[in-house]
Amino acid sequence: MQAHKKHNMTALTVAAMGVVYGDIGTSPLYTLKECFSAAHLPLTQGNVLGILSLIFWSILLVVTVKYVAFVLRADNKGEGGIMVLMALARRFLTGRARMYIIMLGLFGAALFYGDAIITPAVSVLSACEGLEVISDGLARFVLPMAITVLVGLFLLQRFGTASVGKMFGPVMMVWFLTLAVLGLHNIVQAPQVLQAINPWHGVAFILEHRFGAFLTLGAVVLALTGGEALYADMGHFGRKPIQHAWFVVVLPALILNYFGQGALLLSRPETLENPFFMMAPAWALLPLLILATLATVIASQAVISGAYSLTRQAVQLGYCPRLVIAHTSEREIGQIYLPFVNWALLVAVLIVIVTFRSSDSLAAAYGIAVTGTMAITSVLFFVVARINWRWPLPLALGLTALFLLIDLVFFSANMLKITHGGWLPLMIGLVVFALMTTWKRGRELLFERIREHALPLESFIENLEHYPPTRVPGTAVFLTGTIHGVPHALLHNLKHNKVLHERVALMTINTEDVPYVDQGCVTVERLSDSFWRIVARYGFMETPDLNDIMAHCEQAGLTLELMDTSFFLSRETLIPTNNSGLARWRERLFLWMSKNALRATDFFNIPTNRVVELGAQIEL
């Protein structure tokens, strides 16, 4: 048994390296050269040691202490990520405090989409730029190669990551070992680079360059990109494998490689143009280019999969219209594919890569999304530690103040790059934030209008049982978003068809603030001789399953034969008004999103030949 557990832990640790650490693992491709170009610093020993010291201590404090040691503890039934953290933080809050936490969490989630667009572009571009090191004549192939790799990556998404995912861990293991070997080889040539472990070199660098050092911090944060993935992907592997992978393989490999690049710059200053690829001997350049391209594809895959998961959470929590969600694995519930998100990301990535054309230009746009999400995570962590865990105020405040100070310094340093591309993730974040908040508020207003005009359910059923209309054989299931009042579709069916089925079930599907609902996910209540109420509860990491609901109904005594059951739902036609509670542009945006949302019957995979849609006009 002990041997089995050890083998399972090893397998999960290797797998975590492939998914969790793809992004941060490819940061050495571009971080150090960007640190020197950010403030146009001269290549001196003091500057090399100072920048390496800042990178070293940033990785230790932000990734190791903040995320690995503390944030990973803030799990919701084993799941992590900023939407999960938001759900945890708002659980015991009410009023304005709850609203502010939700807004913060949503904006952090919105910034992730900026990251999901920039990460594939900058990672793959930086790998393909290795062609320039092999030969100057190959420079013109960098952009076409990057576009080809990215298009191929997005085209493969519909087949799922189950088979490809098995390769991720071993490939990234080879990648991290390569990082370590290259770094160690160069450190031996210039061992004085190890002095950078002393934090005084970072302090001295800041005191000497001041504003130049502040600009450099905007590039140092590139070494931390992907740190948020440690937390977001916790549900796939668990806390222990992620921590083991970090301490045993990833952290040593990254530090050795950064110090190796620094050692190379000390001994051969002319390699500043691309110190990562120039660490390798000439014979190893082509294999290293291929390996780097594979590593960046894996890093991109991780963030693309993250965008799918985040979108599903947003749909389930009511912040996004229903979209097609395809499950690409029968065994792994987390492996999903969203066609709309996939093609939207591809278009956005291609526009970005053609516009910016180089990893240097894109690096300026990268930091804001990362640091913004990091700062929001720190604030939400404070709320969870203080309110949920009941930490003493001095402990929660002191620890969060340290994290937030570092995050805000990095964020403010990146704010200086807004005109050089930093506007891109902010614009993406604001657009996604507007979409999510508009949809959520619009749906709330819609349900308010429905409830205002709804008839009381109890008296309605009682009246029908005493004065029944014409009954027809079979079962009618009316899908409704609320358990209060009579569904519009039921009223319209009676009004126009003048009949009622022998058995009537009112079905409501709710999403909880937890990733998964284990017990009692479907409750069936008999309201009268012929009326039933079905309430299905799901977590925001789950997709409602009609077959599962029907199986629970049968256990409760309500047998639903699919070919003898008709599903009724209202198709609301929304009419804008001047007093809707939404600004005019948000009202139009909500109407447009409503028209393009996936129908409920398609989302829940209800056979179309069993569906009856009845229209209803509702004034917002």
pLDDT tens per residue, range 550-576: 888 888 888 888 778 888 888 776 777
- Helices 142-155, 285-316: crossing angle, 10 deg rounding: 40
Task: Count other C-beta atoms under 10 Å from residue 8's C-beta.
Answer: 11
Locus of tokens 């590139």: 222
Which phi-psi region, left, alpha or beta, contains residue 485 (left: φ > 0; alpha: ψ -120 to 50)? left
Distance in angstroms (rounded) separating the CA atoms of residues 479 and 610: 13
pTM here is 0.83
Locus of tokens 């009856």: 612
Walk me through the domains of the chain, giving residue ranges and CATH numbers. 2-421 (1.20.1740), 446-619 (no CATH)
Residue 71 phi, psi dihedral angles, 5° rounding:
-65, -35
In tens, the pLDDT along 463-476 reads 887 888 888 888 89
**Is residue 49 within 8 Å of 220, Cβ to Cβ?**
no
**What pLDDT, on the 0 to 100 scale, is given for residue 160?**
65
DSSP assignment of 112-158, as one string?
Answer: HHHHHHHHHHHHHHHHHTHHHHH-GGGGGGHHHHHHHHHHHHHHGGG
Which two three-digit tokens encode residue 397? 């405040």
- Helices 339-356, 142-155: crossing angle, 10 deg rounding: 170
Locus of tokens 């992730």: 112
Which phi-psi region, left, alpha or beta, contains residue 552 (left: φ > 0; alpha: ψ -120 to 50)? alpha
Residues 6+ apart with CB under 8 A from 74: 80, 85, 88, 231, 381, 384, 385
Helix/strand/coil for 416: coil
Distance in angstroms (rounded) separating the CA atoms of residues 524 and 332: 28
Distance in angstroms (rounded) separating the CA atoms of residues 340 and 330: 22
Torsion sign (Cα): 28, 432, 569, 607: negative
Which two three-digit tokens encode residue 610? 């069993």
**What pLDDT, on the 0 to 100 scale, is given for residue 5?**
47
Residue stretches of the chain with pLDDT short of 70: 1-8, 160-167, 236, 328-335, 519-520, 573, 578-580, 615-617, 619-620
Which two three-digit tokens encode residue 261? 């690049």
Element (H, E) at 343: helix 339-356
**What pLDDT, on the 0 to 100 scale, is given for residue 309?**
80
Distance in angstroms (rounded) separating the CA atoms of residues 421 and 415: 10
HEC readout, 510-563: EECCCCCCCCCCEEEEECCCCEEEEEEEECCCCCCCHHHHHHHHHHCCCCCCHH
Q: Which of 529, 40, 22, 88 is nearest to 227 (CA)?
A: 22
Strand 499-511 versus strand 531-538 pairing type: parallel
Q: Which of 310, 415, 298 is nearest to 368 (CA)?
A: 415
Count of positions (residues) in the chain: 620
Q: Which of 26, 401, 457, 485 is nearest to 224 (CA)?
A: 26
- Helices 423-453, 584-596: crossing angle, 10 deg rounding: 80
Which two three-digit tokens encode residue 137? 């004549």
Distance in angstroms (rounded) separating the CA atoms of residues 300 and 172: 13
Distance in angstroms (rounded) separating the CA atoms of residues 99 and 342: 30
**Is residue 461 within 8 Å of 527, Cβ to Cβ?**
yes
**Is residue 228 within 8 Å of 154, Cβ to Cβ?**
no
Residue-wise burial string across 500-529, b where 16 or more C-beta atoms lie within 10 A, e elsewhere: bbebbbbbbbbbbebbbbeeebbebeebee
Rg (the chain; Cα; Å): 27
